[in-house]
Chains A and B, each alone.
Chain A
Amino acid sequence: MENLDKYFDPKGPFAALRVSQMKRSWKQSNRRELNWWENTYLPMLISGIYLTSKHFFYNVTFHILHLFGIAKGTKGAVTYQYPEMPRPLSSRLRTRHRLTKREDGSPRCVACMMCETVCPARCIEITAAEHPDPNIEKYPSEFILDLGKCVYCGFCVEVCPEDAIRMDTGNLKIAEYSRDSMIYDKKRLMEE
């Protein structure tokens, strides 16, 4: 820290700033000097091998015990074998959308266009039509949601006054072979 002079001109512009910056970075990188034994690389080598071997023998023991059907409760690996053994999803995880239904099976949506307005990706497209029931006013004759554009922000769910759209299907497998088939219409959104 003494010979800062050799790094920059102490009389130049912003010298005080540079000094304070360098002092800070010096403090951050001020590690202890390694002693001779540590410099041989052996202690870290041994402790590293010890750690990985500990994991290895612990896991191998349980894998072998599982082969004989013992100690199934203790896992030898943290792996979830995904397609056969899906990971538990958090209940607040945002997954594929669905349109909730009224008791008669028609969509709860009143085509207020709130979700279409708030959507930052502009992936919702609603066509409103007049509902026969005078208490409801409108219903979506078409409700198109393009999952290829959707960013899963969940704004549509938050903004909906009727609780008509939710993102709680738990369905993550939305992959398709074409962009067109990622465009969901009302019918696909209403089936679970």
Chain B
Amino acid sequence: MTMSTDPWVWLAALLSLFIFSYLYKDNPLFKFAEHLFTGLSVGYLIVIYYNNIVRSYLLNPVLADHRWVLLVPFAIGLLYLFRFIPKLSHLMLIPIAITLGIWNGIALPLTIEADIIRQMQGTMINTSMFRNPWDPYTGLAVGILIAVGVICTITYFFFSREHKGALKVSAHIGIWFVMIGFGASFGYTVMARVSLLIGRLQFMFTEWIHLIK
């Protein structure tokens, strides 16, 4: 068994172990690694944002190309800082209103199309499902299952009437679909978190301690 001679690999491996040590209990090595990570992340992002936003969208165009009009949105953006002056904090609402207005105007129609209309179409049973009714992805059986699941789940969240009779049955079926959905999400969450552990251990066993080729 050989080990890396690269000091950066050693540093990364030791910091990973410091972070893992929290699983046993909180300790100064974990705190050190945690604070180092936070400081580095913030420092890195400040530089990235300065270069990609302040310099690219404001300093260079204004100072080099004399596009003075850009000072107007810059001034509007500065109004956010008035939140620290209680008497003038209402000025902060101006950039918020502009941002919300523009964003809603752009996003609302498209979101309705992509997230509601197209999803409703996807839920509906169509003639193509009859071609191969038992196909587990596109068949009629799964189409009916999806349609029933959507309707029953929506009825579970329908609170304008007491859940009695047919509504109660439908809501009960709906909660089963919701629970199965939560179960699937939990399974994926396990896979995601385990993948992160695998990634770190692969690094340690591949690049630090050469156990995996």
Is the A/B pair a real complex? no
Q: List A residues at the B interface (Cβ < 8 Å).
A: none
